[in-house]
Each structure stands twice: as structure tokens, then as C-alpha cells.
Amino acid sequence: MPANAICFFHRGRLVEVRDAAPTRTVLQWLREDARCTGTKEGCAEGDCGACTVLVGEPGRGGKLALHSVNACIRLLPTLHGKALFTVEDITAAGSGALHPVQQAMVDCHGSQCGFCTPGFVMSLAACYERHAGTKRRPTRQQLADELAGNLCRCTGYRPILDASQRMFDLPAAPACRSRRPPRRCARCRAARWRTPRRAPRCPGGSTATSRRAR
Ligand code: FES
Ligand code: FES
């Protein structure tokens, strides 16, 4: 691997990006290079949450620690050694099964426009992944706080908050069950993942919190 290559997992494979400008953002790479346009650009300055993605890295006990970040202000080189998940990645490929967040958004009529909805889904996916499998459920106020970095300028937040509570009542999606512990990369010491037969899956972190969900 060239010394200037950025190495991370995306879409089930190890991606090497060479000669990327240090100021290139994750969002620019996703939309312009990888052609993954499910992640939207709204404000492009870290305020609206439309560009929310999940970044995974080895956490405690070998578990995948997931953090939601704003891709528009996250610089691509900071992905080195990590895994990237977008709204296109949380549904189990080929199974037709929606992630519990997506299903809850359908059930509660929480889906809104194509700009804000992917961001809402990814912030809730991060919350779901942090709490699923534990006995502790976040309160409605805590869920509202989770969405504080996701703005909608035209509709409302009540159905989305309903969905954020309902998602914990739904069965886990296959992609979630198949989450694998991270392993060291055999090719690239800086990267902490080795190419597994199946890359780490499923989406957790902190989005910018500029306003509280209404
Ligand atoms: S486009 Fe990234 S936070 Fe608005
Ligand atoms: S910004 Fe998407 S519905 Fe308001």
C-alpha cells in the first residue's frame, strides 16, 4: 500500500484512496467518487444532518463501535483504519428486510423529503445500535436529543420521534445480527481491519447538535 493511501472499509471491501486532497470530505468522496448518492448535501457546513453517515472502529470487547458523523465536515483522511456505512448499507443486501429504523419510519409515517430523511435514519440507526441488546431504552426526550443535529425546515418531528420509540419493538434486521467483531488488517498495519469474507456490517456517535428536535 502506498504511503499516501487512505484505507478503510466500505460496502464490504477494503477501499484504498490514493492522492486525495487533505481537504476532501467524506461526502465529496461518497457522492463524486464512489457514486453513493443516498447521502445528501444540505448545508455543507455541519448544521443540518442531511449528510449523516456512520463510522465504525474496533471498540470494547471486540465489538464494532459506531459513531454518527456529518460527512460534509468529516475529512476523508480521518477514515483511515475505519469502516464507513451509509444509508444504502443498513438494509441487509438481498434479504429485502428493512433495518428496524427504516421499518419504524414506514410504520409511523416518519419518512419526509429525500434530503432530511436519510440523515434522520442514520442518526436513529446509530442510536439503535448503541441500545439494541441492552435493557435500557432511551426516553423520548433522549431520543429527541439524538435528533438535535437533524433539521427539517418544512414538516414536523412527531412521527419521527414515534418511529424512534417503535424501532426498539421491532425484530433485528439480518444485517444487524450478522455484525462481526473487527479484526486487524493483514495488508495495512494502520488499518485495523483485515479483509474478512464479509466486511463489518451495520451501523453509532455524535452528530453536530445545533438545535433540539421539536
Ligand atoms: S450537509 Fe452536512 S450537516 Fe448539512
Ligand atoms: S427538510 Fe425534508 S421534509 Fe423538511
Task: Determine the pLDDT at residue 1.
Answer: 54
Nearest ligand to the CA atom of 154? 2
- Protein residue with its CA nearest to atom 3 in ligand 1: 46
128 part of a folded domain: yes
**pLDDT beyond 70 at 93:** no
- Strands 52-58 and 83-85, by their bridges, are antiparallel
Mean pLDDT of 47-74: 91
Q: Which residue has the higher pLDDT, 110 or 174?
A: 110
Q: Is residue 187 a part of any domain in this protein?
A: no
% of the chain exceeding 90 in pLDDT: 60
**Looking at the whole model, is its pTM more than 0.85?**
no
pLDDT at 26 over 70: yes
Instruction: Specify if 118 maps to a domain.
Output: yes
Quick one: DSSP state of residue 172? P
Buried (b) or exposed (e) across 57-83, using 16+ Cβ within 10 A?
A: bbeeeebbbbbbbbbbbbbbbebebbb
Q: How many folded domains does the chain comprise? A: 1
The DSSP line for 83-149 is EEE-TTTSSPTTT-PPPHHHHHHHHTT----TTHHHHHHHHHHHHHHHHTTSS----HHHHHHHTTT
C-alpha 129 – ligand 2 centre gap (Å):
24
Q: Is 195 part of any domain?
A: no
162-183: per-residue pLDDT in tens?
A: 999 999 999 876 654 334 444 5
pLDDT at 192 (0 to 100): 46
CATH code at 119? 3.10.20.30
pLDDT of residue 200: 52
Q: Would residue 43 count as lying in a domain? A: yes
pLDDT score of 190: 39
Cα distance between residue 99 and residue 171, in whole Å: 9
Residue 183 lies in a domain: no
pLDDT at 161 over 70: yes
- Is 184 a member of any domain? no
- 46 within domain boundaries: yes
- Read off φ and ψ for residue 207, nearest 5 degrees: -90, 160
CA–CA gap between residue 88 and residue 40 (Å, rounded): 12
The reported pLDDT for the residue numbered 23 is 96
Give the domain range for residue 110. Answer: 6-177
Q: Which of 152, 160, 211 to mutate to test the pocket of ligand 2 (most atoms within 8 A of CB)?
A: 152
Helix (H) or strand (E) holding 65: strand 64-70
